[in-house]
């Protein structure tokens, strides 16, 4: 008898006829099971020592009016060789209940609450079914992502109050912060429970600026959704538009020209650079070390001005198009990019040595806001925050896109999980981004930067896309509708999976350290509050 090797074979050996159907779509194994079997199969994927699957995305699709069913899809990223596996099940007719996997997998908690709010599908057995996206002023029974809910519906406001969790006991009191803040910051509510100085509990309440992004996508065609993707999270305009384009191009059968792939890589790394430089400076600023903040701000501004000279946009908007890229760079411009980055790297290296010699700064950063590896894995944490907690994942290496299959990406990895580790990951990635851009400069081929569509997708076809943005892994699921329209677009910014984890990183710290911990995560409110 041969050894069971592939994940699908392992599932068949463990569950037999429970695995109703298996297909390979876009290179991803798709395993269909009955809804009652989802928790057991998901638990197996998550805990099996040779699989250790992380729940990377969970979403629902309303297939009406073509079919009278809802579909739930669970995307797992397996530990080795970091491949995807998709678990799917259907809710037929008027069925609105499905078994929760949150008791087995912590990372499912927000996903299942979101599905209840947006589709009215209830995760039976979920330990916390309070509203997440639909705040209490939304009328009962309002579920915006159902197909019978019109995008321009005007809702009546109702009264309601969110039930925060409370810790009771002598000397325990609560400190509410936000959602309106003193600085120029997006809205988010943080409620601390403390006894003396240490934080016993932090509860986050977000989604104050829900914009109906996924519903708006359903009014667009595959070719016109790029501009909306750029607005999901403004500081990641290029990363989001690239992820959208890749999914749309897969549906339209477009093969991107090699030159466009390389230029996309260059612009994505420029976006990573200016954000990481800003974050290193901001972390230093939150310890009152303004010298480092000033120099990082100067270098960040240099790159944003470079973006503007190259593309006409400081945030690299209107650069990506479905089929390629709108901006070509000549040899002189590419040389200019490398020359400026060489100078910036020299300045940044000098600044790094100053930062690392600052004992008081190190004292503030080390052991502050520790997110341990187990907690990071349980919550599916990604990107800079994950790599600082020894989560060895980077889509550029694991599922190469753009020109990364031609470029070897060195992944920065630390195991301490504190503020200093998160800053060190950013510092290492600054050097790596500059190295990758030099590689692009020497290897970029000549040729076209746009390709035409090859086909019109059949209604119901779908595609998944992943991009390693500067915060971490961005995911887009797009399902085609009739005549090239979008039937469903599920967007997942890395902030959605990293926000819950910050509630654990702050435990045992003091409230005055929270701005520093929060800045070391630097998550997007807009990218979270779709």
The answer, yes or no, to whether residue 20 has pLDDT greater than 90, is no
Any idea which residue has 């099996």 for tokens?
48
- Average of pLDDT values for 155-169? 90
- Best CA proximity match to 463, nearest among 482, 474, 478, 485: 478
**Residues forming a β-bridge with 321:** 324
Our measurement of the distance from residue 497's CA atom to the centroid of its chain's CA atoms, rounded to an integer in Å, reads 7
Residue 65 binned pLDDT confidence (cut-offs 50, 70, 90) = confident
**Residues forming a β-bridge with 190:** 177, 204
- Average of pLDDT values for 332-341? 97
Q: 285-320: per-residue pLDDT in tens?
A: 999 999 999 999 999 999 999 999 999 999 999 999
The answer, yes or no, to whether residue 358 has pLDDT greater than 90, is yes
Domains 7-124 and 213-521 fall in the same CATH topology = no
The answer, yes or no, to whether residue 3 has pLDDT greater than 60, is no
Q: What is the DSSP letter of 459?
A: T
Q: What is the pLDDT of residue 183?
A: 77
Length of the chain equals 530
Give the containing element (helix H, strand E) for 474: strand 473-480
What is the distance in angstroms between the CA of the first residue and the CA of the last residue of the chain?
A: 50
The answer, yes or no, to whether residue 80 has pLDDT greater than 80, is no
CATH of 7-124, one of 3.30.420.40, 3.40.250.10, 3.40.50.1970, 3.30.460.80: 3.30.460.80
Q: What is the mean pLDDT of the chain?
A: 94
Q: Spell out a b/e string for 470-507, using b for 16 or more CB atoms within 10 Å of the CB, else e.
A: bbbbbbbbbbbbeebbbbbbbbbbbbbbbbbbbbbbbe
- Average of pLDDT values for 359-363? 94
DSSP 473-502: EEEEEEEE-GGGBEEEEEEE-HHHHHHHHH
Question: 497: which 2 tokens?
Answer: 């999976």
For residue 511, give the 3-state DSSP assignment.
helix
Q: What is the pLDDT of residue 27?
A: 86
Q: What is the pLDDT of residue 111?
A: 98
Q: Are 141 and 96 in contact (CB under 8 A)?
A: no
The answer, yes or no, to whether residue 21 has pLDDT greater than 90, is no
Structural domain 213-521, CATH architecture = Orthogonal Bundle (1.10)
Domain boundaries, the chain: 7-124, 172-205, 213-521
- Best CA proximity match to 120, nearest among 100, 105, 99, 140: 140
Residue 2 binned pLDDT confidence (cut-offs 50, 70, 90) = very low
């Amino acid at each position: 008898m041969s050894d069971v090797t592939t994940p699908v074979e392992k599932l068949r050996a463990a569950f037999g006829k429970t695995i109703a159907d298996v297909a390979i779509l876009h290179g991803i194994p798709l395993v269909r099971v009955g809804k009652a079997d989802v928790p057991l199969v998901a638990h197996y994927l998550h805990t099996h020592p040779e699989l250790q699957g992380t729940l990377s995305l969970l979403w629902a699709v309303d297939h009406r009016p073509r079919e009278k069913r809802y579909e739930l899809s669970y995307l797992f990223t397996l530990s080795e060789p970091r491949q995807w596996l998709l678990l799917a099940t259907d809710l037929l007719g008027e069925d609105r209940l499905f078994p929760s996997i949150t008791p087995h997998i912590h990372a499912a908690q927000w996903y299942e609450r979101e599905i209840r709010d947006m589709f009215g599908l209830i995760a039976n057995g979920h330990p916390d079914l309070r509203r997440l996206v639909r705040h209490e002023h939304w009328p009962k029974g309002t579920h915006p992502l159902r197909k019978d809910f019109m995008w321009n519906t005007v809702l009546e406001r109702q009264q309601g109050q969110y039930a925060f969790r409370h810790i009771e006991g002598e000397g325990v009191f609560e400190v509410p912060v936000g959602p309106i803040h003193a600085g120029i910051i997006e809205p988010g509510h943080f409620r601390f429970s403390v006894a003396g100085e240490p934080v016993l509990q932090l509860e986050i309440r977000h989604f104050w600026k829900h914009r109906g992004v996924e519903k708006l996508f359903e009014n667009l065609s595959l070719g016109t959704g790029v501009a909306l993707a750029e607005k999901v999270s403004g500081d990641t305009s290029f990363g989001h538009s690239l992820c959208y384009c890749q999914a749309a191009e897969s549906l339209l059968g477009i093969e991107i020209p090699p030159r466009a792939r390389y230029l996309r890589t260059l612009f994505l790394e420029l976006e990573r650079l200016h954000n990481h430089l800003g974050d290193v400076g901001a972390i230093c600023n939150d310890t009152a070390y303004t010298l480092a903040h000033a120099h990082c701000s100067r270098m960040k501004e240099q790159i944003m001005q470079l973006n503007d000279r190259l593309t006409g946009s400081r945030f690299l908007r209107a650069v990506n198009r479905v089929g390629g890229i709108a901006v070509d760079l000549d040899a002189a411009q590419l040389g200019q990019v490398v020359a400026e980055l060489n100078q910036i790297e020299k300045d940044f290296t000098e600044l790094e040595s100053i930062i690392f010699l600052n004992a008081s700064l190190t004292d503030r950063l080390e052991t502050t806001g520790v997110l341990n590896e187990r907690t990071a894995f349980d919550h599916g944490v990604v990107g800079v925050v994950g790599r600082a907690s020894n989560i060895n994942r980077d889509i550029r290496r694991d599922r190469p896109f753009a020109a990364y299959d031609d470029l070897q990406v060195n992944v920065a990895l630390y195991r301490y999980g504190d503020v200093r580790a998160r800053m060190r990951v950013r510092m290492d990635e600054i050097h790596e981004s500059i190295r990758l851009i030099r590689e692009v400069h020497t290897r970029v081929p000549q040729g076209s930067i746009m390709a035409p569509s090859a086909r019109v997708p059949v209604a119901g076809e779908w595609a998944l896309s992943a991009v390693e943005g500067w915060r971490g892994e961005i995911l887009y699921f797009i399902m085609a509708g009739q005549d090239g329209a979008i039937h469903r677009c599920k967007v997942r910014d890395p902030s959605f999976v990293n926000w819950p984890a910050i509630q654990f990183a702050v435990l045992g710290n003091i409230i005055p350290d929270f701005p520093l911990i929060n800045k070391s995560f630097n998550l997007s409110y807009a990218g979270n509050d779709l």
